[in-house]
Structure 1
Amino acid sequence: MTESDPITDATDTQKSTVFFSYSREDQARAIPIIGLIQDAGFATWWDGMLEGGERFSRSTEEALDRAKAVVVLWSKTSVQSHWVHDEATRGRDRSILIPLSLDGTEPPLGFGQFQVINLAQSKMDSSDTEILRMLRAIAASHRAVLNMPAPVAKNGFKINRRWAIGGGLAVAAGAAGFAVWKTDVFGGPSTRNSVAVLPFDNLSGDPEQRYFSDGLASEIRSNLSRNALLEIVGQTSSNQFRDRKGNIQSIAQELKVSYLLDGNVQRVGDKVKIAVELTDGRSGTNKWSKIFERQLSDIFAVQSEIATAVAGALSAAMDDSSAGKKALQVGGTRSLTAFDAYLRGRELFESHIDEASERAALAKLEQAIAIDPDYAAARALRSRTLAVIANQYATAVERKALYSEAVNEAQKAAKAAPNFAPAYAALGYALFYGRLDAAAARKPYEQAYALAKSDVDVLSRYAVYCARTGRFVAAETAINRAAILDPLNSTMFKSAGNIKYAAKAYQEAINFGRKALALNPQRSTLHGDIGNAYLMLGDVDKAQAEFALETNSLLALPGNAIIAQKKGDLDKAKAALSALISEHGDNALYQQAQILAQWGQKEDAFATLQKAYDAGDSGLVYLLNDPFLDPLREDARYKALLGQLKFV
């Protein structure tokens, strides 16, 4: 971190009261503990954004002096670390030391008089006794009391609600649901309240009607995901079992859920027949089933009825107040024709075929909004579609107008449905990628995250935003939950890799990229992501092999240009840059600047970055922690550009 880098909430020495000390080798296991401390309402300082030689920078000293608690994570590696010894000594001498043991290791000589909290067998969530001991000790150092509300119990089902701190401390915002931090980003064991909604079979006899059966399953999934007492698997993972290959128990095991909701839809004229079954994933036995035969005009009531019945069957009853019933329809419509247009538009949007399909989706969503101007889900998705077109297909002249429209559409969606998470996520995206305003995007992203619960799309977009703005604990918290809820979705692992890359954990970024490729070998950009990480590790040959496999030239050509220059083949390097300009023009100004910075052409790189800013190039969202631009980072012009984008 340089003196100009933004100090985030997670590392703000003006706010932090808990100093967290650990060995860098233990970082992956330390981050969940830091997240739990922050979720309990304490502002925590840790060195996640510092390089090894900067540990005792001015900000580190200030954080130690300001701390009300110094939490030290002892392990086989940290007991050998002079840095950890020094920080622990500061905490001991001020009588504010709280020692933890990650693996059962005893503290070194001079620290044995303190009772150690052993986390070797910890579940790393709010129900764990040792975690609560740690939080109570931290609260005591603040002269506060950690209050744990009594757990909710219904028919044997229990859930630990979010804790709060007494004594005047504020509770940190942004953690939704329960057991937010899990130690395994690939998903742990299933919880008793986890459900996967499989794609419903289309029995209408018309393959063109599949959009309706898929859409109905998706809407029921959305309704269920708004219940904070349920964990709902994401659509991508659930849809892997469209053909029902494997028995119930094997599907449940692969998705790591306790229950499966399956069904079929038959639509004939103005009538619809829906058969739904909830199955216990462990035993394969039926938990609840029902057949609905209704007029199409009753489809919205059926969605809510199914969601409420499923929740009731799991003893996680929906709020039965009128407010609760309205919440089931957050962002929705009561118009069947608007709903039908929205489902068709969503199917086109999710296909991500080409510009024509995106614009066709836009037309369907506009049709839905024309029928029902208060249809927040349609407006939020239209905002996202506008942003995709602006980002991937528009010229520089058209881009700003499209993003401006995307902002306005998202604002209308949020006004129509103030509790609809996708509306705020769409607004945050349009402000960040469109208006290039990192600060303005934060509030809607935080609102989206607070409302998201089981919405993996919102969680993953929030996580990437946090990483781009240097808030790595928040980023990993969100993407961890998203990966648990959607374990077969390559996007979750791509995002996790991008977060690790932004945090300069390049080998971990490669590992996540490989996981994403295993789930979707044909997905573009993944080989480019891995190639970039290899470049940062200095392994040019492996990077070159990855770029050779990358189908997205916006990633492959910059990589090839940088590698050719490193190998001394200047003609090949210039040819790759020329090809990038020829293929993408002003839509690749940011990538051109990356190449020029790596070539050592500093003045040209800055001139190109200014052109990118003037053109509204969305690539600039990478600016804060893009290692390709490290050669420019200490220049006053770079710091000024960070200020223009409101990173600082």
Structure 2
Amino acid sequence: MRQKLAAVLALDMAGYSRLMEADEAGTLARLRTHRIELIDPAVAKNDGRIIKTTGDGMLVEFQSVSDAVRCAVEIQQRMKRRNSDVATDRRIEFRIGINVGDIIFDDGDIFGDGVNIASRVEQLADVGGICITAAVAAQIADRLEVSIEDLGEKVLKNISRPVRLYRIGIDEEIAAHPAVKETSQRRRTNTKPSIVVLPFDNMSGDPDQEFFADGLTEDIITELSRHHELFVISRNSSFVYKDKSTNVREVAEKLGVQYLVEGSVRKIGDRLRVTVQLIDAVNDTHIWANKYDRKLDDVFAIQDEVTASIAATLPGRVEAAQRDHLSRMKPSNMVAYECALAAKVLHHRSTAEDNLKAQAFIDKAIALDPGYAHAHAWRACILGQAWVHGWCEDKDATWEQVTSELDKALALDDNDADVHRILAAVRVSSNQLSEAQYHQERALSLNPNYDLVVVQQGELLTWLGRPEEGMDWIRKAMRLNPHHPERFWSHLAKAHFAARQYDEALEAFKRLSTMDHEQHAFAAACHGWRGDADSALSHLKKVRALASDFDVETFLSTLHYAQDSNVQHMREGLVRAGATDRALSKTGAARSS
């Protein structure tokens, strides 16, 4: 014997004895026809399994309550149409009852309270109607648009406790509840990570704080929705679960999502504490959690701050979880989003070999979904990386591909912050700083709390000769995402260098686990301006070890300063560091000073 939770549909023919007495052969023949043409196909179509049949009825098991109700409505609606031209005294009509509960399977049969209640409920259904228990009604209330009438509590034969029953209307076609329509649409058209933000709990006991908890939830939903790489369930769907005890896996299954965000708000004296956690519902594991303690001076400012921090952190945590999942998958199993994610991971490794692999993955993503704007933007980014580093045979042809992909991405989705972010980055690479500013501002307007957009604003301001402002934006990005990429420190270091703050720049460079030849060149220039010849020489040797053909003028041409004074500032720093020494540079145009 085994026991499990399931939906049970009990069906019984009304007036069976009377009809058999009047026309036994004809009744059996018509009943068999209804079984073959209607009932059995409806059960199969809705993933039901017929467990037991009697002469005039059956018991059917369903894994989903919604499937059981859909099956019942289909049977009763179609039987109503079939009987429209049949004399009243010859009509075959059914009563249907549905319950959900623990059932026992033994030797091909089912037993238990769940089955007994379903059978008793069926007996109270109208002829041609459907009667359900409160447990069934609770599960379909937020999944199906169907009329439900409360019949109150009823005493059922041989059942010790009263059972609340409901009648389902069958006059109209059954339709999915908006929340389920949204989920069904997502399943058909979306392969992106899906997430629902459940209403935050007000733990303070102060009803006045309820507005803060609800407002925080709604703001987080809104901010996360700005990230086009996430599919975020709407507020109307998530607030169905307000003030309800929820099971993570059940909620995820109903809404068709992989990730859930849960949180709580508690007021303690003049302080407000907000806790939040991100859960992978498929594996039932916690991915990330954080706690925010703030003094209750301005509740709306706190709401904005916490919302911004959570909205900036969550996408990165989701992407990290997706990367872990991706590492366990075979490439042949990947869908467009996963191919794009694999391409991003390879792109960030910044090697010629990985760039080539990234191109293959992003090409596959576009082949799977030609209308995927984000993939086109990243194809431009990956090809742009190859162009910058010379990892391509024909630089002119590669650049044409870069601009073509960006045009496609923009035409497909002008409201994707990532599309404009990448456009801005590529425009910076080609020293088109005015155009870069336009796309950067557009990206900020679309998603002002996206850490990659915010840090890029700081980087752009540094190139434009406004490094102090740039530092503020870079630090903001770091606050928004405490798990920010390590390269943020490099952006901050370069901003400090441009602001002539050499000690601060070197402190920021120390936060990097490894440095490339460009970063060592900046560090050498810092020491050059500080007059530390030994440290400057140490970094210059590392520059040459990583880039044997390093040349000062070529290096300066890769920088994107809008003002020549900043270019000269870097040149002078490298000269002071000794970069023109013949042992360290191909040019050997001058000796170190």
Give the TM-score, by structure 2 length: 0.41
Q: More relative contact order in 1 or in 2 (CA 8 Å, sep 6+)?
A: 1
Bigger Rg, which one: 2
Give the TM-score, by structure 1 length: 0.38
Greater share of strand residues, 1 or 2?
2
